[in-house]
Amino acid sequence: MGRTFAALTGLACAFAALATPAAAFTAIDPLTRQPLYSAEETYRAQASAFPRQIVTFNGRYAPGTIVVSTSERRLWYVLGNGQAVQYGVGVGRPGFTWAGTHSVTMKREWPDWRPPAAMLKRRPDLPRYMKGGPDNPLGARALYIGSTIYRIHGSNEPETIGEAVSSGCIRMTNEDVTDLYSRAKVGSRVVVLR
């Protein structure tokens, strides 16, 4: 009876996980493979700290431009008419920040991940390849930035939004990157400011 109950509970948790947006999950307990905090608690805390919203944006950028301020931990998708959609982001940790102007060269849903050679040199414990999905560090969507190794991508660690923790990529919640993905086109200009 105990094993049957545990198995059914495990199945219920698995189905609940499928019904909950991947962005809502936080750190996973390595023994039980369950979220350490409830999905709702984690997502509510993150969303209230960095809500997606339409804001006044007085910049010289054309509609469709993506502007990132690493110091403010914000990304704006310029709508035009003095407005932009503002998102909270995670950015590169000290020593991994960068600035420049590029364009979106490719977009992928649930992208596979192949850590760059420089990252593998620093972290030989990382897998050489990880298939796309909820456990993948690139999250639900990725926008590839020019000829750089950087991406604007989702994250399976929503608690890192607003932090400087990445190796240079711009992290968003899976819900926010999905919204941005639906707006931005291949060829969209990306301006990253320090």
34 within a domain of the structure (yes/no)? no
Are 75 and 89 in contact by the 8 Å Cβ rule? The answer is yes
For 169, the domain range is 49-193
Helix and strand element counts for the chain (H, E): 4, 11
Are 130 and 147 in contact by the 8 Å Cβ rule? The answer is no
pLDDT reported for residue 55: 96
Assign residue 161 the CATH number of its domain.
2.40.440.10
pLDDT reported for residue 20: 32
Taking only the tens place, the pLDDT of each residue in 122-170 is 999 999 999 999 999 999 999 999 999 999 999 989 999 999 999 999 9
3 within a domain of the structure (yes/no)? no
Q: How many domains does the chain have?
A: 1
pLDDT reported for residue 8: 34
Which residues of the chain have a pLDDT value below 70? 1-48
d(CA 144, CA 153): 8
101 within a domain of the structure (yes/no)? yes
Half-sphere exposure at residue 32, Cβ-oriented, CA atoms within 13 angstroms:
13
Strands 151-153 and 170-171: parallel
16 within a domain of the structure (yes/no)? no
3-class DSSP state for residue 17? helix
3-class DSSP state for residue 187? coil
pTM for the full predicted model: 0.75
Active site positions, annotated? 153, 169
